[in-house]
Structure 1
Amino acid sequence: MRYKGINHIALATGDLNATIRFWRDLVGLRLIAGLGRPGYRQYFFEIGPRDMLLFFEWNHVQPIPEKDHGVPVQGPFGFDHLALEVETLEDMWQIYDRLKAADIWVSEILDHGFIYSLYSFDPNNIPIEFSWANPEFDLRKTPRMQDSKPVFEARKGPDPLPDVWPEVSEPTLPQEQKIYPGEGSELRSKKNRW
C-alpha cells in the first residue's frame, strides 16, 4: 500500500461561522466544499494539495476545555493537537503576526530541532501548532529514535515489518468490489451555491 498523505482530519464545531472566519479569513485556508442541512453540516478547508480539514457542525457542540499542547492527561483521551506545516519561515512570522493582531493567544516561535513551531487555539479551543520544517533535519529521509527506553515494538526499526499480521487469504474479487453511495456524492452535481 502507498499513502499520499492525510485526506482530511474531521473535527466538530457548534459555531460554523466563527470556525470559517478563523480558518478561512485569519489562517488562510480555502473553504472548498460544504454539505449538509441545519443541525448537521460538513465543511472542508484545503490545507495543501492533498490534505483537508473538515468541520462537522452539530447542534449543541460546545468548545472543548482548553488543554495545553503536549501536556499529559489521564482518562479517556484520543487527540492532543493539530499541526499544520507552513512552507517558509516567513509564513510562520505572518501567522504569528496575524494571530497577535486578532488578539488571539499565540506562543512564541520555538525551535524543536527538526521543526520550528508556534502554538494557538481555534474558536473551538482546538489546540493548533503551526510548524516550519528545518531543512537541515529531515526525519522522513533519516528517521531517528532518541527515546532512552523505546517500547518493544519501536526497537524493531522504522519500516513496516512483514508477517506481523495474517496474510490476506481471500481477497475481494473484482466482481464483488461494490462501492455504495454515501454523503457527499452530491458534490459531483453541476449545481453550485457559490
Structure 2
Amino acid sequence: MSAIQFTGINHLALVSSDMARTVAFYRDVLGMPLTKTIELPGGGQHFFFDCGNGDSLAFFWFPHAPSAVPGVTAPANRPDRGDIVSAHGSMNHVAFAVAPGEVEGCVEALRSAGVDCTEVWNHDDSEYGVAREQHEGVFVRSVYFTDPDGISLEIAAWTRPLVADDVSHLPRTAADAIAAG
C-alpha cells in the first residue's frame, strides 16, 4: 500500500447539547461561516462551520445524547485552572490556527465578546513548558477558552518551523501508566 497523501482535516465532528447556542457561538462570536446543515433521521442534526484553509468543524445534535462528564469526556479545566486530563478515546481540545501576529488580537476579540480566556501562553521546552515572555525557544503561542458546552478550544500560532530536533521523546505505553500508579 502506498502512503496516504493527506491534505488536511476535512472535518472534526463534535456533539452539541443546543445547536442554536452552538451556531450563535461559532458563527456569531468566533466568525466561522455556517456552510452546511443536515437534518438526520430520528430528529438529529449535523451542522458544518468553515474554520479556515478548507477545513471544517462540525457538530452533531442528538435529541437523546447523554450529558458530558467533565474530566472524562473532556478536560475538567482549562490549562490555567487545573488538571486537563480526559479519558482514553476522548477529544481533549481543538486548536484553531492563526498567524503569529494575530494571537493578542484574538484575546481582545474573545474578551470583547464576553468569552473568558487565558492570557497568551508561550509554549517552549522549559521545565514547565511555558515561558512568561516570547523568546527564540517558543514554538507555539496560544490562548485557551471553552465553548458553551464546555468543549476545550485553543487558538494557536506556530512561531517557527519545526525541525527534526523537535521530535526527541520516546512514546510512552499503557505499561508506563500502570508503573506510574
Q: TM over 0.5: same fold?
A: yes
| Cross-structure match for 1:117 | 142
CA RMSD of aligned residues (A): 2.5
Give the superposition deviation at 1:132.
1.2
Stretches of structure 2 that go unaligned for 5 or more consecutive residues are 124-137, 174-181
Equivalenced residues, count: 147
- Structure 1 position 94 matched with structure 2 position 105: yes
**TM-score normalized by the length of structure 2:** 0.71
TM-score by length of 1: 0.66
State how 1:132-171 maps to structure 2 within 5 Å.
132-134=157-159, 137-139=160-162, 142=164, 144-147=166-169, 150-151=170-171
Q: 1:13 aligns with which of 13, 16, 27?
A: 16
Separation in 2, partners of 1:63, 1:102: 25
| CA distance in structure 2 between the partners assigned to 1:56 and 1:36 by the alignment | 10
Deviations 1:17-56 (A, max 9, x none): 1101111111111110000157310000011132100000
Percent identity at matched positions?
27
What is the CA–CA distance in structure 2 between the aligned matches of 1:43 and 1:74, rounded to whole Å? 25
Unaligned 5+ runs, structure 1? 154-194
Task: Determine if contact 1:64/1:124 at 8 Å carries over to the other structure.
Answer: no
Determine the structure 2 residue equivalent to 1:4. Answer: 7
Shift of 1:144: 1.5
Correspondence list, 1:1-194, <5 A: 1-37=4-40, 39-61=43-65, 62-65=67-70, 67-69=76-78, 71=83, 73=85, 76-90=88-102, 92-112=103-123, 113-134=138-159, 137-139=160-162, 142=164, 144-147=166-169, 150-151=170-171
Q: Name the larger-Rg structure.
A: 1
Counterpart of 2:135? none
In the TM superposition, structure 1's runs of 4+ consecutive aligned residues that sit over 4 Å from their partners are 74-77
